[in-house]
Every structure is written in structure tokens, then in C-alpha cells.
Chains A and B, each alone.
Chain A
Amino acid sequence: MQVFTCPFCGPRNETEFHFVAEAGKVRPDTTQPISDAEWATYLHTQRNEKGPVREVWMHTTCAELFVMQRDSVTMAVLGTQALRKDGS
């Protein structure tokens, strides 16, 4: 059981959290033509890095999204920030 730190509520058990997406993924402008490959990349391609990663998570009990840096190998949480302040 991991402990994540919600920027608003503090450290909580991982069962209170919901993974949203890898951070930095931008939705293509779908009113413009987009190739199948570009859309498929947006939908399915994950960086899935080994080591430090940046991800968007939701603390489901307060419903706030935030960015979390963690290490996908050691499971260490390196930091969390509110999403809107992060600007990603």
C-alpha cells in the first residue's frame, strides 16, 4: 500500500486515488484534420518510463487533480503539485 500526498489533503493511502493520465499529453484539436496515426498515438501510446515519471492523478475523496512525480522502479513519491499551478 503506497502513500500519496494530495496537495490539498495531505498523505493518504493509494486506494483513495485514481490514475488519470501521463502528464503533458495534449489533446489534438479535433476540429482540424488529424491522421489516424496521430490520434492513435494520443489514445494509446504511453511513455511508460522506467524511473522518474510525471503523472496526473485524482484524489477521489476531494476530486482534485494534481501532478505527481514518482519513481516507477522504487515506487518513491518525489513530489506532488496542484495541477493548475503546474501549468502542464
Chain B
Amino acid sequence: MTGRRLASGGLIDRKAPLRLRFDGRPYGGFAGDTIASALLANGVRIVGRSFKYHRPRGVWGAWVDDPNAMMTVRLNGREMPNVPAATTPLEDGMDVRAVNAWPSAKYDVKGGLDLFHRWLGAGFYYKTFIWPDWHLFEPAIRKMAGLGHVSDAVYDDYVSDQVNAACDVLVIGGGPAGLIAARTAAERGEAVTLVDDHPDVGGSALQEVAIAGADPAKWVTAQKAAFVAAGGQVLVGTTAYGVYDHQLVGLIQQFGFGAAPRRWRMRARRIVLATGALDRPVTCANNDVPGVMSLQGAADFVTRYGVLVGQRMAVVANNAAAERAVAVLDGAGGRIRRVDPAKGAVTVHGRRGVAGISQKGTRRYADTVLMSGGLTPLVHLWRHAGGKLDWCPDRQAYLPGKSPVDMVAVGAANGTFDLEQALEEGQTAGAGRSVTRGPTDYHLTPLWPKPGSAGRQWIDFQHDVTLKDVEMAARENYVSVEHLKRYTTLGMAADQGKTANMAGLAAMASVQGVSIPEVGTTTFRPPFVPIPIEAFHGQHAKTQWAPVKRLPLEDLHRAADAALCEYGGWLRPGWYGQGDQTALIAQEAVMARTHVGVFDGSSLGKIAVMGPDAKAFLNFVYYNTITTLKPGHLRYGFMLTEGGVVYDDGVVACLSPESYIVSCSSSHTDGVLRHLEAWRQDGNDPDRIFVHDTTQAWATVTVTGPKAREVVAALGVACDLDKAAFAHMTLRETTWQGDALRIARVSFTGDVSFEISVTASKAAALWEAVIAAARDHGGGAIGLEAVSILRAEKGYIMVGKDTDGETMPHDLGFWAPRQKKTTAFVGDRSLRSENANRTSRKMLVGLRVQDGAAALATGAHVVLPGGEVSLGYVTFSYDSPTLGHPIALALVDNGANRHGEGVEAWHMGSRQSVTICAPCFYDAEGEKLHA
């Protein structure tokens, strides 16, 4: 037992005792403790195991810089892995277990791995498991790797709030400099938000003897009160984890264990960075033994939690800032021995805990070694924003340089470690003026890793990267810091190198004989602290991720027992009824072929294009000629990209010479609308063309089958339905029950079909009337699955399913406009390219299987008999219930010229003989279509 609770001091409430268990043993703490401070107060030394060698690990730091104490915590039936003990407030009843250790951190069965460290150096995976095959070893290694295990439980209420907010000034860090900056800005009338990741503001103020002549705690309270009185917003327990484009700052606000954190997207007009600085470890032999701690961290444990981390403490410090921390520890009653690292190499003794320290052959007893290798300003957010870093030789640290955005660093984050100067900087920044860094009294003796020196010297505590690993990386020419990082995993632990990076860079500089700034730094990336993925999506998941578009008739479909499925972003009926899905779909398809089927076509795009230039405009955006389209007529056509590839297929209806309706694919409406708007506004006169999406305003009920005409006639519309009067590909505008009604004779099934459109509010009445009439004729509603079979039998394509990113219209058999259209149209020149004229293009064909053979697999490759080279692939395949044999559509190399050729369909190693045929299996002559 080394650490102990002091009788007084700290921010804890000694009247509020809390219980916890660690690795199965009961301990006590107080409200205001973190898990780490409670364990230290109970004298717990070993709190975890390192990642690779399973070496015993103790608490290193008091806050975000601690890389060692990672826990799996269970409380109130909720379990969370990889909880950082140093930053997680203690709650009553927490059951805490060290990750990466079994049965406990103290007695870890894998501790023996350390004996083999000689063979487990940097890159050992790549060198050792390469023969005969990495995949042989991978499962076992993956099982050993990783830290905590994710619980199988699903917490439905663990959903992060997402808050979008804005402010004039965002002050990050509530220490003395941040507090004064926030107060100054707020009193100027600016909207200021102050964030601090601790449970309350104050920061390093707690370690001061006095601030501006006042007691530090009282000074902090007064500043905060004045700030709030001036209208300032304080967010505590909130970490600024990243700075993004245009001064967007990500904040994560914690609400205690097991509660989902809240994510703020804070847009700040200007940002004041008052994030402070961290103490660096000293790289020496055995510097990873539990009991070796950050000096500043040890002072923090006294001032925040009333915990003295050791009894006999050796202090290894090289810098002026150490004096304040030593004074704090001295004041708390610690016995301190100063060891000047400038006088010779230091070695720590002990295995499971510090047992002494030696220098120049003299060994002294100590139970704790407190290290301070110099202060490193926390410049992560500065770098996220693209700010430059300047190397300061006096401070041996990277300091904020130029920033491309309105961001100012103050106090220790700016390398200003003197309190008076920090307060001045805070005031200046708060007032919106630029900060000039003054001369500093801070000084230190450079103390960096010495390559070639004896002993195992840890650089990354969690990932077990030692000085020798860095030397090996350099020998193997991984000299770039980005390569060094990835080869050794230095700085890739959960703390992302907050303790390790500077030592690693310095070691590499030393090995190469260059200066630290010549080596450079690795990239600082958000997030600054680990954040659950949940925080990034919040409610924006599951059904909220991409909300489906809804049909006006959804209620009626549900009442008719429809299986509603998503088709291209729309929730549409797949089929109707309960029972065997395949049988139900087949029944619907047969019913539509023999009698009549009714389906909901409301999702089809209905984009109105109007104006004096509308016709010429459509003629330009369509592959097909539109200028010859007469009022009351429809034309099937393609929109192409400028690359000549089919982008959408659909039907254009001409209502009048200046009014058209573009009926595009259901899933493409938004894209087609953008496409049309882009061409309308860029390249045409936008005052002479108007594009308006009316898709949601109209509902469409489609009637198809031999009895379709009788069903429409039963509605009693004022319209001659006779085949001579109302030909295929024409349109009638009429009324039904006093409302406008459009009837288009157009077919997606190959049978006589009528698409009847009314305003959406009338959809239910129309649907019920049509369904009733269809029942009288032996028909009824059919879902999209049946429609999909019917259209494939006829060889009607679905863009994106039966076409791919290379398909041009002539690959689908539509080559007339390419040869005959003389006016310009989108994609025209690309259709005349060498690529477009290749004979070896993938063209749409049908595939016929041998008698009695099963349907092909969709996606199967088409190959020559016995061949290995793919000629194309099956885009759709189904055992047609109406034809009684399987059908398939495919895109096949030069397919249009291979009808009748015998080939094979290859799927998962099996081959099936098939014959290429025309892509139409139903009514090739069109008699039924025009009936």
C-alpha cells in the first residue's frame, strides 16, 4: 500500500462515500473521485496490463494523458469496455475490471509473454508469421489482440443527442487563462461558450498558491460567476474533440457512466484555445514500472482528489515548472527526494512496483518515481484547424504558430507557463486582440531518449514500444515519423501518443543525428479523446438513416396485407397476403397475364417541364427525338450522361407544345430533377423553361392485363377506350368524379395497360374503385415483385439493374437516334467515339436454359463452353410462372450478334448450358401490347 487519502483537501466530498470493486475486490471512494483516484487512494498499484507484453501497469497521469488504466465497468446492469479510469467519475457500486488481463491485473496469466520480448520487437508479426501463410496465424493473433470486449447487450436508450449550436466566441479550457478570456469576451457583449472537460472549471488554478492576490478557489468561483452574469454559457464535463472546416468544433458532453454522451456541433466565429499543457515522461531504464508517474499528475491527484500517490517519492525533473508541483506534494506531507537527471542516467528498480532508483551506481529507496520531462502544450485542436507549429528551442516544445482560421492560443497551450502572463494573454484574446507571446522565465535542461543506452526504456506505455524498437525501425529504414508510427505502433494506443509522441520523435531525431523539428510530427487527427461511435449518429440510424418515401395509398396496401419493402427509396408493396412468398408472387403474375392486375405506380417520377423552350430543351436532354412528339402522345426514351451512358429511362408525355411531363424511374426522380435543373440553368435560358417536380402531388394506379380495358371502362370515365380511338403510347386528359384524371396507355408488362393518375388526395377512392372493378374481372392487386417478373418476360429493362456504368442506348437495341438525330443532345459526341463503336460491347440479351433446367443465378457469368473468360453476366433471372420455364436477361459481349449461340452460365464453380436469344420472352410481335 503506497497511495493514501489525505485528511483534507481536494474537491471530493468526504461525507459521500462510494463503493467500488476492482478485479473482484471491494474498495471505497468518495463523490468527486475518478476510478483512478479511488484506486490510488486505496493503495492499488497495478491497474492494468500493457497491450503486447502484458507488463504490469500503474496509473501514469491524472487525466486524459493516462495511457494505462483502461477498464471494463459494469453498473446497474450496463457494461462498457475500454473506460479510461483517469477521466471517468466514480459512481457507487461500479464493478471495475482491468482490460487485457485475466484473471486480474495483478495476476495476469499472459504476464509470461514478457519473457519472450526479445523476439517480439517492432514488426515481429510481419517477420514471423509470413511463412507459410499469415492467414494460418491470423485467427489466434486476432483473438489475443484488442483490449476490452464489447458486451453482447444492446442498450436501446443509449442514443446520443445531437445539438447544432453557434456562438461568437468558443473558449476551450476553463483554467485561469480560459476563464479570464471567456469573462472578458462575455463582458464585451459577445455570445461566449466556455467548455471544460473536468466536472468544473478551474484547471491548473488549483495548484496555485494565489491568483491576483486571492485564494485560487475563490478567484475561480468569482470569474465563473461574473462570466455567467455576463450571459456566458458554461459546459463542463465537455471535451472539444475536433476542429473542422469553417470553425466547426465538435464537443462531447458526458452525463455519467452508461448514459449516452451528447454531441455538439458548435460553430464559433472565433476560438480561444486554453487547453493547457501535459507533462512528458522521462525515458530511462525500467520507466514503466507501476509507481512511475507524471509529476504534474501527482500534484493533480493531491489538489483534485486529496490523494497522495506515494510515501517516499523520487522526483526526476528537468524543468522550472516542476517546482510548483513539488511544492504541492511537499505541502501534502510527501517525502521527496530530488534526482537531477542531468547528472547521469537514471534506472528505476522494481518489477510489480517501484522499489528504488539509482544513478551513477548509487541506489536509493523510493516507492514512487515522479517524472517531469518538460511541458508539452496541447496543440491538437490547433493542428486540426490547420494551424502551423513552431519549434521552440527554449521550451523544447512545439508551440502554436500561424493559424489560417480565427483561433488564438493562450496560456500553457501557447507555451506561456507563467500565470501572470497567461492571464494577460487570456484577457487580450478575450478582447479579440491578437496575442504576442512574451519572453519566458520557464527553462529546462533538454532531456531526450539516448539511443544505445542500456536497459528497456519505454516510450509508449500502452503499446509496449521501447527505445530499442525505435532504433530498430530506423535501422530498417522506417525513418519517416509516419512510417515509424505505423511500424512500431508508437502513439497508436488509446491515448494516441499524448505521452509517447514527443519521446518517439526525439528518439528518431537522435538516431538519425538531426534536430527534432527536422523529423517533424505525425498528423494530429480528431478525436482528441476516445468517443463512442454512437455519439456520431445519434437518432440518425436504422429507419432514420435514410427515411423511405411513402405512397399516398400506404394505408390501403397495409389493410390489404401487403408486404411493404423498400424499392429505390420508396416503401412499396412487394406482394400481398400471408404465406409462401414465391407462390403468392407467382399467383399475382399469372393473374395479371390471364385476367388483370392492378399496381401502385405513384412513385414514378412526374416532372413537369413547361415553357416556350420546353420542347427544344427536352429534345436536348433526351437521346430520343422529342420535337416530333405531338400533344396527347407519349414517347419512351433515355437520358444519357455526357459520357453517353444510360442515366435514366422513362416516358415523356406531351400535354401541349409547351407542356410536358417527364415520367422517370421511381428511384431516380431527385437525380433527374437535378440533371434537368443543371442543364436548364447552365446552357439554356432559364426564363423560357420551367421545371417542377409534381411526383408527390399525383397518385398513379396502373391497370394491366387482357381485361384492363374493361376495368377502366367500369370506372365510368368520359373517354373512349376503344383500341382504335386510344392507341398504345397515347394520353387522355379527362375527369373522374369532378377531378382531373390523366390516363396514359403505356405498358411496363407487355400487356394492355393504363396508367391512371389523380391528385394524391383522390388516390384512395380511385384505388378502391379500380380494385373493385378488377375483382369483377377475376383480377386484383399485384406487388412490385410480380411486376418485375412481367417486365423481364417482355425484356423491359430497369436502369441500374439491367444496365451498368458502361451501357449505352445502342447496347440495349436503341440505335436509331444515334444514327438519325441531327440536333445536339446530351452525350451525343460520346456515342460517336471509338469506344461506343466497339463490337465487343456488352449488349442486352436473353438467355434460354435447356428444357427442364433450373433458373440461373442472377450475377452468374456468361462464358464460352469450357471457357474461363467472362463474356458478361446475368442481370435478372426467374422461373417464370406465366411461361412455365426460366427466363434470364444478361449483358453479354457482342450479345446482339450472338443470338442462337450456345454458351455457359458459370456460378460458384458450376456450369450450365444456355442459349443466347433476343431479350423478349413474351409477345414478341406485340399483338397483346396493342390489343
Using a CB–CB cutoff of 8 Å, the interface residues on chain A facing chain B are 1-3, 14, 18, 20-21, 27-31, 34, 36, 39, 42-43, 56, 58, 60, 63-65, 74-75, 77, 83-84
Chain B residues positioned under 8 Å from A39 (CB to CB): 829-830, 833
For B246, B386, B404, B686, which residue has the most chain A Cβ atoms within 10 angstroms? B246
Chain B residues positioned under 8 Å from A20 (CB to CB): 678, 682
A18 to B829, CA, bound (A): 25
Q: A3-B267, A36-B833 are in contact. Are A56 and B682 (CB under 8 A)?
A: yes
Does the CB pair B674–A18 fall under 8 Å?
yes
Contacts A30-B824, A74-B386 known; list 19 others, CB within 8 Å: A3-B246, A3-B267, A18-B674, A20-B682, A27-B683, A28-B829, A30-B825, A30-B828, A30-B829, A36-B834, A42-B642, A43-B642, A43-B643, A56-B682, A58-B677, A63-B674, A65-B681, A75-B245, A83-B682
- B549 on interface, CB distance cutoff 8 Å: no
Does the CB pair A64–B643 fall under 8 Å?
no
Chain A residues positioned under 8 Å from B691 (CB to CB): 63
Q: Least Cβ distance of A74 to chain B in Å?
A: 5
A1 to B823, CA, bound (A): 43
Chain B residues positioned under 8 Å from A2 (CB to CB): 245-246
For B673, B677, B828, which residue has the most chain A Cβ atoms within 10 angstroms? B677
Q: Least Cβ distance of B140 to chain A in Å?
A: 42
Chain B residues positioned under 8 Å from A74 (CB to CB): 386, 404
A56 to B677, CA, bound (A): 13
Q: A20-B678, A36-B834 are in contact. Are A1 and B824 (CB under 8 A)?
A: no
Residue of A3, A18, A84 touching B686 (CB-CB under 8 A) = A84
Chain B residues positioned under 8 Å from A56 (CB to CB): 682
B interface residues, how many (CB within 8 angstroms): 28
Does the CB pair B677–A65 fall under 8 Å?
yes
A65 to B248, CA, bound (A): 25
For B404, B673, B829, which residue has the most chain A Cβ atoms within 10 angstroms? B829
Does the CB pair B386–A63 fall under 8 Å?
no
Does the CB pair A83–B681 fall under 8 Å?
yes
A42 to B683, CA, bound (A): 14
Does the CB pair A1–B674 fall under 8 Å?
no
Residue of B248, B682, B825 touching A1 (CB-CB under 8 A) = B248
Does the CB pair B686–A58 fall under 8 Å?
no
Chain B residues positioned under 8 Å from A29 (CB to CB): 824
Chain A residues positioned under 8 Å from B673 (CB to CB): 63
Chain A residues positioned under 8 Å from B245 (CB to CB): 1-2, 14, 75
Chain A residues positioned under 8 Å from B833 (CB to CB): 36, 39
Q: Least Cβ distance of A5 to chain B in Å?
A: 11
A75 to B642, CA, bound (A): 29
Does the CB pair A31–B823 fall under 8 Å?
yes
Chain B residues positioned under 8 Å from A63 (CB to CB): 673-674, 677, 691
Within 8 A of A (CB), among B619-665: 642-643
Chain A residues positioned under 8 Å from B681 (CB to CB): 64-65, 83-84
A9 to B637, CA, bound (A): 35
A77 to B248, CA, bound (A): 15
Within 8 A of A (CB), among B244-272: 244-246, 248, 265, 267
Does the CB pair B678–A31 fall under 8 Å?
no
Q: Least Cβ distance of B819 to chain A in Å?
A: 15
A24 to B830, CA, bound (A): 21
- B822 on interface, CB distance cutoff 8 Å: yes
Residue of B whose beta carbon sits closest to that of A73: B404
Residue of A whose beta carbon sits closest to that of B822: A31
19 A-B interface contacts by CB (under 8 A): A1-B265, A2-B246, A14-B245, A20-B678, A30-B828, A36-B834, A42-B642, A43-B643, A56-B682, A58-B677, A63-B674, A63-B677, A65-B681, A65-B682, A77-B246, A83-B681, A83-B682, A84-B681, A84-B686
Chain B residues positioned under 8 Å from A3 (CB to CB): 246, 267
Q: Least Cβ distance of A14 to chain B in Å?
A: 8
A47 to B829, CA, bound (A): 22
Does the CB pair A1–B822 fall under 8 Å?
no
Chain A residues positioned under 8 Å from B682 (CB to CB): 20-21, 56, 65, 83
Chain A residues positioned under 8 Å from B642 (CB to CB): 42-43
A25 to B728, CA, bound (A): 42
Residue of B whose beta carbon sits closest to that of A77: B246
For A14, A20, A28, which residue has the most chain B Cβ atoms within 10 angstroms? A20
Chain A residues positioned under 8 Å from B825 (CB to CB): 30
Chain A residues positioned under 8 Å from B834 (CB to CB): 36
Residue of B whose beta carbon sits closest to that of A21: B682
List the 4 closest A-B pairs by CB distance, nearest first. Answer: A65-B681, A30-B824, A2-B245, A63-B677
Q: Least Cβ distance of B56 to chain A in Å?
A: 44
Residue of B whose beta carbon sits closest to that of A31: B824
Q: Least Cβ distance of A62 to chain B in Å?
A: 10
Chain B residues positioned under 8 Å from A18 (CB to CB): 674
Q: Least Cβ distance of A39 to chain B in Å?
A: 5
Q: Least Cβ distance of B693 to chain A in Å?
A: 9
Q: Least Cβ distance of A72 to chain B in Å?
A: 12
Q: Least Cβ distance of A38 to chain B in Å?
A: 9
Residue of A whose beta carbon sits closest to that of B250: A1
Residue of B whose beta carbon sits closest to that of A40: B833
Within 8 A of A (CB), among B661-681: 673-674, 677-678, 681
Residue of B whose beta carbon sits closest to that of A84: B686
Bitwise, B812-834 to A at CB < 8 A (1) or not (0) is 00000000001111001110011
Chain A residues positioned under 8 Å from B643 (CB to CB): 43
A20 to B681, CA, bound (A): 11
